[in-house]
Amino acid sequence: MVEHFLPTTLTETLDILDTNKVEIIAGGTDLMVQRRTWANTLPKFDQTINIIHVKELNFIRQEGSKLHIGATTSYTTLLQHPDVPQLLKDCISVLASPALRNIATIAGNIGNASPAGDTLPILYLYDAIIELSSKHRVRYVPIQDVIVGPRKTTIEYNELITSIILPLHDFSTVRFDKVGGRKADAISKISMAAAARIEDGVIEDIRFAFGAVGPIIVRDTGIEEELLGRTIEDIPDVLPTILSSIASRITPIDDQRSNKNYRSNVALNLLQDFLLTL
């Protein structure tokens, strides 16, 4: 018999996941599009578990130097919370539309694992840790080990993303650039999250991550290390190496939104602009 579950507690949720083959719905803003049929006909689901009513998963908590974001926390809630880093807020404010932001979640962005997922470059940049819970254990997995390909994650059949943990950093500059088909309500053709901490003209920390230029988010800490300890004046000299290293790491495609050449060129232009305006 087909069942759709509507739990209200985490314990209930993990029990159900352990013994039923179900798809997890929170905001539903990706899944409900993917499974749509026609007017007045049910979307194509086998069994589902809708976790939107599990209040324990709706939270934002700062614990020491880490920010914990519950799985069902909406983008709008994040946008209005004082402890959420500016870079993440900058991203959310150009993501989707107000009505979608009112219910969509970062956990959904991760679970959907689209190469164009807008919050993902930020999660990679912050070295986010994803808390995956099942009935019998809790795992903490770095974001880059959760998403392994387009629409492919290592989340196990009985696991649920319960929170996203962001180690907080003091950056002196942050930037999120999204290039979409229009200025709102658009899927990214290419996106870049970048952040740096410059002290007395010296680069103490620098990070950049790209979305929609490959099957997964592109971030190469090896390339970032080339810049650590250098001064701002050094940047023009080392820039060509940085750009060609990034160029070899990105593998954009042609699709209905854009093409490889555009995505490559613009990714490099955005990085260059970030580095030269530090």
Partner 1 sequence: MSNITFTLNHNVVTIDIDPTKRLLDVLRNDFHLTGSKEGCGEGECGACAILLNGKAINSCLLPVGSVQGQDVVTIEGLSQSRQGQALSDAYRDEGAVQCGICTPGMLIASHALLLENPHPTDDEIRIGLSGNLCRCTGYNMIVKAVKKASEDGEGLW
Partner 2 sequence: MSLSLHGCGFTGSGEADHIKALIKLHKNEQDEVTILIAAVDMGQGVKTTMRKLVSTILEIPIEQVIYHHPDTNLVPDSGPTVASRTMMIVGGLVARAARRLKEEWQPNTEQLIAERYQQPEFIKWDQATFQGDAYPAYSWAINIVEVEVDKRTYEVTVKETWNIYDVGKAIDEQVILGQADGGQLQGLGYGYLEKMTRKDGRIQHKNVTDYIIATTVDTPIMHNYLMDNPYPLGPYGAKGAGELTLVGGASAVAMAIEQAIGKPIKNIPVSPEYIMELMTNE
* Contact region with partner 2 (CB under 8 A), list: 12-20, 148-156, 211-219, 268-276: 268-276
Q: Provide the token pair at 257.
A: 């939104």
Minimum distance from CB of 246 to partner 2 (Å)?
Answer: 15
Residue 99 contact, options partner 2, partner 1, none, Cβ 5-8 Å cut-off depending on partner type: partner 1
Which helix (DSSP H) or strand (DSSP E) does residue 180 occupy? strand 173-180
| Chosen from partner 2, partner 1, none, partner binding at 181 (C-beta under 5 to 8 Å by type) | partner 2
Question: What backbone torsions phi and psi does residue 201 show, to the nearest 5 degrees?
Answer: 80, 0
Say whether residue 127 binds partner 2 (CB under 8 A).
no
Tokens 């260059």, residue located: 272
CB of 235 closer than 8 Å to CB of 271: no
Spatial neighbors of 4 by CB under 8 A, at least 6 apart, are 45, 47, 48, 49, 50
Residue 265 has phi, psi (to 5 degrees) of -55, -45
Environment class of 76 (CB within 10 Å of its CB; exposed 0-12, middle 13-18, buried 19+): middle
**Which residues are near partner 1 by CB under 8 A?**
4, 6, 25, 28-29, 32-33, 36, 39-43, 45, 48, 50, 52-53, 76, 96-100, 102-103, 183-185
Which of partner 2, partner 1, none lies near 96, with the C-beta cut-off 5 to 8 A by kind? partner 1
Which window, 107-115, 117-125, 182-190, 220-228, contacts partner 2 (CB under 8 A)?
Answer: 182-190
What does 1 bind: partner 2, partner 1, none (CB cut-off 5 to 8 Å by kind)?
Answer: none
Cα atoms in the Cβ-side hemisphere of radius 13 Å centred on 114 = 18
Q: Which stretch binds partner 2 (CB under 8 A): 154-162, 193-201, 238-246, 257-265?
A: 257-265
Residue 275 to residue 198: CA distance in whole angstroms = 12
Binding at 43: pick from partner 2, partner 1, none (beta carbon under 5-8 Å per type)? partner 1
Residue (116 or 130) nearer to partner 2, CB: 116
Our finding on whether 182 is near partner 2 (CB under 8 A) is yes
Please state the closest distance from residue 215 (CB atom) to partner 2, in A. Answer: 20
- Based on CB atoms, which residue is closest to partner 1, 28 or 252? 28
The verdict on 54 binding partner 2 (CB under 8 A) reads no
The one of partner 1, partner 2, none whose footprint includes residue 62, by CB under 5 to 8 A per kind, is none
Burial of 49 (0-12, 13-18, 19+ CB in 10 A): buried
Complex with partner 2: residue 20 or 272, whichever CB lies closer: 272
Beta carbons of 211 and 188 less than 8 angstroms apart: yes
CA separation for the pair 125, 174 (Å, rounded): 11
Token pair recorded at residue 61: 């908590």
Closest CA to 49 of 15, 21, 25: 25
Tokens 């164009």, located at residue: 116
Asked if 243 touches partner 2 (CB under 8 A), the answer is no
Binding mask 161-180 for partner 2 (x = CB under 8 A): ----------------x-x-
Structure tokens at 207: 């990070």
Interface contacts to partner 2, rule CB under 8 A: 177, 179, 181-187, 256-259, 261-262, 265-266, 269-270, 272-273
